[in-house]
A and B are shown apart, each in its own frame.
Chain A
């Protein structure tokens, strides 16, 4: 009886608002995870249709199906959609849906940020698709190399659609990455130490970490190229001291980690499914965790293998070649750990297992051609040919799509509470598997016979006719397979038989809950003492539903979940999570307004939306917290814990640290760009005389030190927090004035030379960072006045200090860098 009452109360607290408003204001990770997955599947369908258009065009030589202009848009959008609108959001969706469930939590660390990410993804993706329908889609290839993508050679909005649309979508990637890391570090079951985490959590931790450091270079590159296109700031034009290679470095500095960002969550799903299917533990948990971390680290050191033909000295290429083949080792560790697990166990030939075996065949072949392409002299032949097209499809379809199809069948009973209906899934598998190999296996040969990528037609004499026709037949076969898969999933959703909880006899906590899951996941939260809590206790789900775990309470209409110590998993505090809100939707709309005004060249309107975004973020932050000193709460089982309002290390602090880390990566990439152009680009030094200057950087330094001192005074003694915050904001305002003064007095116009363009960009970035810091401190002042921040609840001061210290640090670095550059030029 008590269990039912608890269930009723928790349902009331965690349910969405009613009607349409509920759709727009939902912040539930289960809802949003499913929305991410379904949206990504729709984009996969659109990308797939484009792939069919490509195969229709290339089926015969001299085809009259599409002209080169249209074909350029088709292949560019196929690649861009599959990478940015399908693969990344799909893995985000998987993580958002699963993560709290496998960790034993009730939601992610920032429910409203999840919603913001989905809206940004939806709006950005929609802009791209509308451009495609309007015939103005990007057409310079999915890596958008300038000068081809620049204003001179792409005068229309095509490239702007890519730069602005993709950057809009990437906001969701950064949001998701921060959220995943903080959730894994803080929101776990009691006593789930790092070494007791399910292996999937390690994979997602590595993936999200890579996203935090991998996406900023791409975002920076997009900003620079958009500045060049919109305002003529020359970053990539050699006549003005720019270099097209800077784009390639920034793009691939993101682009290669991207491949592993896509692969790792899929590998995590495999590491989760294979032991369950083989009915034996995964071998080498520690070795796999080490391999995953090594992969994440190494993947940032091999971007140049996409640039082996750009004229970089051979010995430097040798270094990147060695790093590139090295990643084969952690990958091999995982592949053999999986095979060893299958070997030791007694595998079940279930539908997910078919796709897992498909993964092995396709991915291993893709891995082998990957090693070949890492070899410099061979790559110089195979680069930019159909061989590379074949390789990348083997790796991405093998390493991501096949595991995701397996995962879809594995977790469908969880999301729907139903099992599959007929043997449609088996037929779909064979169509996809055979169709895939029929499309791509001999495409390696097509490439070796000299067929370049991205040609819309080819002559009969070239000898590629039969090969291309077979590829097209295989492509359409695959399309039928994916269609059948979609039908099968729909059937299972509507007609599948109700299944018992945990149909696979799995090991992880997501199966210790009712299926389909309730909005609050667990009626009470588990305490774990091993990596496979379900293997230890098959009745865990029933016990938790009966309220036998922690936080079996429904108090004050508050959404509560447990936050733990990062390393040991000891219960630390009770996190209070926000409920349904329209703020994420409104914020995404004003951000969208900014991107649209940039896209439509309404540059005067863009600052209005920047201010509106700042207002929204302010409102967002202002609707958290409490003005009451609540004190510790009873978490059950004799545990008395403080709430997140009363602790110093709340998730807000960790999220801010990670956001600043992402911003810092963007900053570091910009500094890299500065020195890269200085050393490598032609037409340096810039024309004109430059001298070092000292007045302005001294001014900036004084302001920055004032800001840091003000923030610190508040942290040490709460009575000084209010004047300290004002002092910090004033200090940052002084720093901003110094930065602007220095730039106006000493820098040439940004359109004159890449030096001035980068210097102005650095200045703008520093002004922006300092302004964010100043706003954070002003916010704190207001929060103290309103009683949300008090001597008992000072943790927001710490968060504001992260932002203002960062702004101050960036201001000092930029001011001195530019002031002293003059002397060296």
Chain B
């Protein structure tokens, strides 16, 4: 079953909203993290199921006075193994998480406002656009995300993880597109009857002519 899952995953990673078809450094790091965790999980699941299968088929003793070996099952498998695996995983995850944070200078900080049902983006030059976010490629861009009515969540799966838009607070998300093109985005937090179509697109422009093109587009 797990192998079928793996095979189908490899065959079908692509998609306009696919997290495993990353187009920016942040999403790429998370996609790598996912593949590592999937591999590790398959190994662990195989181990557990194999032990269970052998345990079922081998002929143990039906004796209420003779319990099994505690130190192997509880000491090594129950405690030592998960502690080791989880410590490594946590360290790796913390490193990925820190690198995805908006630290260091950004090319631009864009004010994002989510509302029922649309998205408004206001740029440093004072211009604004609705339902289309225009960014330069190859450079980090910070989004300062707000909401005016209910909670929404800004999600551009191919570029970065999501960030909630919550009334009364500003949340910052760093995104970066490696190549020019169009990236789809959706609202990930249920926001009412229009939630399913609460979407926008990101247009990324090459750096050398970004200002001209974006200026014209804006």
- Measured CB to CB, the residues of A under 8 A from B are 67-69, 72, 140-141, 145, 147-148, 152-153, 237-239, 242-245, 278-284, 287, 291, 309-311, 314, 317-318, 321-322, 325-326, 328-329, 332-337, 339-347, 357, 360-361, 364-365, 368-369, 371-372, 375-385, 437, 441-442, 444-445, 448-458, 461-463, 507, 532, 535, 681-683
Contact = CB atoms under 8 A, between A and B. Distances in A.
B30 A380 contact: yes
B195 A462 contact: no
Contact of A284 (B74, B83, B153): B74
Contact of A445 (B9, B44, B77, B169): B9
A380 B161 contact: yes
B19 A339 contact: no
Contact of B190 (A148, A371, A381, A682): A148
Contact of A456 (B61, B164, B171, B196): B196
B162 A147 contact: no
A450 B56 contact: no
Contacts, number: 299
A280 B63 contact: yes
A329 B164 contact: no
B8 to A, nearest CB: 7
A280 B188 CA distance: 49
* The 5 residue pairs across chains A and B that have the minimum distance between CB atoms: A238-B168, A450-B17, A380-B161, A344-B68, A340-B73
Nearest to B51: A339
Interface residues of B, number: 92
Contacts of A385: 188
A379 B195 CA distance: 21
Given A280-B67, A342-B55, A336 B77 contact: yes
B82 A153 contact: no
Contact of A372 (B20, B37, B55, B166): B37
Contacts of A339: 48, 51-52, 55, 73
B18 A450 contact: yes
B169 A238 contact: yes
11 contacts: A153-B116, A244-B166, A284-B78, A311-B163, A339-B73, A344-B67, A346-B60, A347-B60, A378-B30, A380-B162, A457-B196
Interface string B161-195: 11110111111100000000000101111111111
A377 B27 CA distance: 9
B150 A310 contact: no
A624 B30 CA distance: 63
B190 A283 contact: no
A152 B166 CA distance: 16
A328 B17 CA distance: 31
Contacts of A450: 15-19, 157, 184, 186
Contacts of A280: 60-64, 66-68
A437 B58 CA distance: 27
B149 interface: yes
Interface of B: 1, 5, 8-9, 12-20, 27, 29-30, 33-34, 37, 41, 44-45, 48-49, 51-52, 54-56, 58-70, 72-74, 77-79, 81-83, 86, 89-90, 93-94, 96-98, 100-101, 116, 149-151, 153, 155, 157, 160-164, 166-172, 184, 186-196
B167 A455 contact: no
Given A339-B73, A448-B19, A462-B16, A381 B61 contact: no
A332 B72 contact: no
Nearest to B59: A346
Contact of A368 (B8, B44, B163): B44
B56 A342 contact: yes
A153 B90 contact: no
Given A141-B190, A339-B73, A454-B190, A381 B48 contact: no
A279 B81 CA distance: 27
Given A329-B78, A329-B86, A336-B74, 7 more contacts: A148-B150, A280-B62, A287-B70, A445-B12, A448-B20, A449-B12, A453-B188
A377 B192 contact: no
Contact of A449 (B18, B149, B160, B191): B18
A532 B64 contact: yes
A332 B190 contact: no
A317 B109 CA distance: 24
Contacts of B171: 310-311
A147 B64 contact: no
A103 B16 CA distance: 58
B17 A449 contact: yes
Contact of A381 (B30, B86, B149, B193): B30
Nearest to B54: A343
A352 to B, nearest CB: 14
A147 B150 CA distance: 5
A365 B49 CA distance: 10
A455 B195 contact: yes
Contacts of A364: 45, 48-49
Most buried by A among B52, B61, B153, B194: B52
Nearest to B98: A314
B9 A332 contact: no
Contacts of B93: 321, 375-378
A80 to B, nearest CB: 14
With most chain B CB atoms within 10 A of its CB, the pick from A239, A328, A347, A381 is A381
Contacts of A282: 67
Contacts of B89: 325, 371, 375
Contacts of B49: 360-361, 364
A174 to B, nearest CB: 29
Given A284-B74, A336-B78, A450-B17, A314 B196 contact: no
B167 A238 contact: yes
Contacts of B54: 343
A823 B45 CA distance: 59
A699 B62 CA distance: 71
